[in-house]
A = this chain, B = another copy of it.
Amino acid sequence: MTYCVGIEVDEGLVFAADTRTNASLDDVRVHRKLHVFEYPGERVFVVMSAGNLATTQLAVSRLRRDAEDPSAPRSLRNFRHLFEVAEYVGEVLVASQVQAGSDNPHGGINTQATLILGGQIAGERPGLYLVYPLGNCISASPETPYLQIGESKYGKPILDRIVRPGTALEDAARCALLSLDSTIRSNLSVGLPVDLALVRAGDLRVSQQMRLEADTPLYAEIHDTWSRKLENAVRTLPRFPWEPQAQATEDPSALPPLPPRRVPARKDPGDQSAQQ
A contacts, CB < 8 Å to B: 81-83, 124-125, 127, 139, 141-143, 153-158, 160-162, 165-166, 170-171, 173-175, 178, 182, 185-186, 208, 210, 217-218, 221-222, 225-227, 229-231, 233-243, 250, 252, 259, 269, 272-273, 275-276
Contact across chains for A161 and B276 when beta carbons are under 8 A apart: no
- Of B127, B141, B153, B240, which is within 8 A of A153 by CB? B153
Nearest CB in chain B: distance from A249 CB, A = 12
- Bound complex: CA A125 to CA B273 (Å): 11
Residues of chain B contacted by A225 (CB below 8 angstroms): 237-238
- Bound complex: CA A165 to CA B268 (Å): 13
Which B residue's beta carbon lies closest to that of A151? B153
Contact across chains for A226 and B233 when beta carbons are under 8 A apart: yes
- Copies of chain A in the complex: 2
Nearest CB in chain B: distance from A56 CB, A = 24
Residues of chain B contacted by A141 (CB below 8 angstroms): 269, 272
- Bound complex: CA A182 to CA B182 (Å): 13
Contact across chains for B272 and A208 when beta carbons are under 8 A apart: no
- Of B154, B217, B259, which is within 8 A of A157 by CB? B154
Contact across chains for B153 and A275 when beta carbons are under 8 A apart: no
Contact flag A186-B157 (CB < 8 Å), given A127-B276, A276-B127: yes
Nearest CB in chain B: distance from A273 CB, A = 7
- Of B175, B222, B241, which is within 8 A of A218 by CB? B241
Nearest CB in chain B: distance from A242 CB, A = 6
Contact across chains for A166 and B259 when beta carbons are under 8 A apart: yes
Residues of chain B contacted by A231 (CB below 8 angstroms): 161-162
Nearest CB in chain B: distance from A77 CB, A = 18
Which B residue's beta carbon lies closest to that of A267? B142
- Of B166, B174, B250, which is within 8 A of A234 by CB? B174
- Of B83, B157, B218, B229, which is within 8 A of A240 by CB? B218
Assuming A222-B238, A229-B233, A230-B233, what are 8 further A-B pairs, CB within 8 angstroms? Answer: A81-B276, A125-B275, A142-B272, A161-B230, A171-B234, A178-B237, A208-B240, A229-B237
